[in-house]
Structure 1
Amino acid sequence: MNPPLIVSSDLSTRSTLAGYSDIAAATGLRKLSSTVEEVPHENLGTITRATAMAVIANPWLGTGPDHDLSERTEAIAPLLAKLISDRLLEALGGVESVEAFGKAALVGSDGELEHAGALIHTPYFGNLLREALGGTSIICFADGRGVPGETLRVPMWHKNAAATRTHYQTMDLYLPDAPHAGEIAVIAAASSGPRPHARIGDRTTDRPVTSEILKGIQL
């Protein structure tokens, strides 16, 4: 019997917005979903914030804590990064509009927390998401276990300057039917601007503060 034919595809130049059936089959994708919110601002114009989520079958079900996760991580995580980043860029209007980003993953009750981490905490997801959204900063994150009906708070910060407090923000994402027990939900968020009325200063310009200030506090 002849071996199965492996067809390579250059995903670096291909949009997944119109068709992704091959990627869905390769990742065990059950659903993709996106949310977009617009926050009008008198000085900044409209700040657009978005999330994109892929829900897949957990590829490590039935394996133990000593099982090597790397092979499936390398095969699946880049595909999820591509699906998700394409949708965030579409929602925000292109890479030039992205100022802040974040990521998250929830694993269903039949999996390990490490299964969620394997899909977002390696270069196979994070580096691709960062490159697609034009960032240089590490990406802030949330991960954990979840059941259908969760509300997940996805953190974000500036894509190039993590110390910029103005862009510390979160998006609340309601997951009505994910993750099922044997699934993993992988999410990323992006924003075209800061918090609407940020005014608590910046970490790079803070004066030095240590526990010494406790000695002179008047109560």
Structure 2
Amino acid sequence: MKATIRKIIVQVDEVRMEMGQPVTPPTRRALAMAVIANPYAGRYAENLDELIAIGEELGGLLGERCVQALDIAPGQTHSYGKAAIVGEAGELEHAAAILHPKLGAPLRKAVGKGAALVPSSKKQGGVGTAIDVPLGHKDAAFVRSHFDAMEARVADAPRANEIVVAVVVTDSGRPLPRVGGLQIHEIKGEDGLR
């Protein structure tokens, strides 16, 4: 099933200065969101296959939009994350159906690999509800410099029968990281952890 998309929003957050210190090169995070119709709004359904298929479609679409917004090659991406907000005529499981079974594979393709689990969050809410999209390094979950989040919010969504689906991709970790842990140059990228 194809998603019925009301709108797509793409934005880039670029940090150039932190605590009076220059951030060189700047850290950048791209957020892509799709506001979609919820095919199960207002009714219980045991089978959520339509949302699972929509998740697969949006994983690639939103991941590609993020990479394009950063103007980098897929292999230059560092972190990723995903989230969804379900409108009041839906249920939390609708977000899970979009995010978990099939969204990850096309997102990984869009960012050129991705051995680590894609961090996620989900919630139910009304128009203007915000959600933090958790981030982690795409190939090694133990890279502390990439533990982060980016807020996602659409002023006019989700309406009762909608879902906001968000993907964030970065070209770096946090600005000025200094809490130790596995470093970028130490990543093996085999088990998703190191």
Tell me which interval the TM-score lies in, with the shorter structure as reference length. 0.7 to 0.9
Is 1:88 the equivalent of 2:51?
A: no
Identify the residue that residue 53 of structure 1 maps to in structure 2: 33
Identify the residue that residue 151 of structure 1 maps to in structure 2: 130
CA distance in 1, matches of 2:25, 2:34: 30
- Does the aligned pair in 2 maintain the 1:152–1:175 contact within 8 Å? no
Among the aligned pairs, what percent are the same residue? 37
* Aligned AA (1:106): I
Bigger Rg, structure 1 or 2 = 1
> Structure 1 regions of 5+ residues with no counterpart?
1-22, 205-219
Tell me, what secondary structure is at the counterpart of 1:200? Answer: coil
1:33-52 per-position Cα deviation (integer Å, ceiling 9, x unaligned): 01111112646412211100
Is 1:201 the equivalent of 2:183?
A: no
CA distance in 2, matches of 1:199, 1:69: 43
CA distance in 2, matches of 1:176, 1:74: 26
Is 1:113 the equivalent of 2:85?
A: no
Is 1:33 the equivalent of 2:9?
A: yes
CA distance in 1, matches of 2:143, 2:10: 26
* Residue 69 of structure 1, aligned match among 30, 48, 54: 48
Greater strand content: 2
CA distance in 1, matches of 2:105, 2:146: 20
- Does the aligned pair in 2 maintain the 1:110–1:181 contact within 8 Å? yes
- What pairs up with 1:150-169 in 2 under 5 angstroms? 150-169=129-148
Greater helix content: 1
Flag as ranges the 4+ runs of structure 1 deviating above 3 A: 41-44
Identify the residue that residue 175 of structure 1 maps to in structure 2: 154
- Does the aligned pair in 2 maintain the 1:148–1:178 contact within 8 Å? yes
> Structure 2 regions of 5+ residues with no counterpart?
184-194
CA distance in 2, matches of 1:56, 1:161: 31
| Bigger RCO of structures 1 and 2 (CA < 8 A, at least 6 apart) | 2
